[in-house]
Amino acid sequence: MPKYQVRLEGRDFPARLSDDGKCLGFFTTRVVEADDAEAAECLAVNLVRDELWDLVGRPQEGDSTSMIALDDISIVDDQSDDGPGHGFTWFPIDEEE
C-alpha cells in the first residue's frame, strides 16, 4: 500500500486559541498509508480533526465555522518509517481575506 504525504490547511479556528482573540489558521503535514490519494486525504483529515479535538475541544456554539482543506498530496518513499506526524503551524487569519 503506498504512503502519501498530505499537507492540510485549516482556516477560521476559534479565537480562544489566540492571545488577541482573533481566529487562526494552520498548516500541517501527515504521512499515511492508503489505497489511493482520496483515501489518504480522508485519513489525514480525520487524524488532524482528532488531534485538534484533543487540543482545543469540540466546536462550541458561537465558534467560527472552521474548515480543513487539502493543500498538497504526494506519494513518498515507502522506506521511511516515520510516524504519521503531529502538531500544527498556526498563523493569524487576515480579516480582509
pLDDT the model gives residue 2: 93
Cα 42 to Cα 46: distance, rounded to the nearest angstrom: 6
The better pLDDT of the pair 65, 14 is held by 65
Residue 69 has pLDDT above 70, yes or no: yes
What's the pLDDT at 56?
A: 72
| Domain presence at residue 42 | yes
Q: Is 88 a domain residue?
A: yes
In tens, the pLDDT along 15-61 reads 666 677 678 899 999 999 999 999 999 999 999 998 888 777 677 77
Element (H, E) at 7: strand 3-13
Number of compact structural domains in the chain: 1
Q: What pLDDT, on the 0 to 100 scale, is given for residue 96?
A: 47
Phi-psi region of 26 (alpha: psi -120 to 50; beta: other; left: phi over 0): beta
Is 55 within a domain?
yes
Residue 50, domain member (yes or no): yes
Per-residue pLDDT at 68 exceeds 90: yes
Q: Would residue 79 count as lying in a domain? A: yes
* pTM metric for this prediction: 0.82
- Domain of 15 in residue numbering reads as 3-92
Measured torsion, CA atoms of residues 61, 45, 90, 57, in degrees rounded to the nearest 10: 30
**Domain-located, residue 97:** no
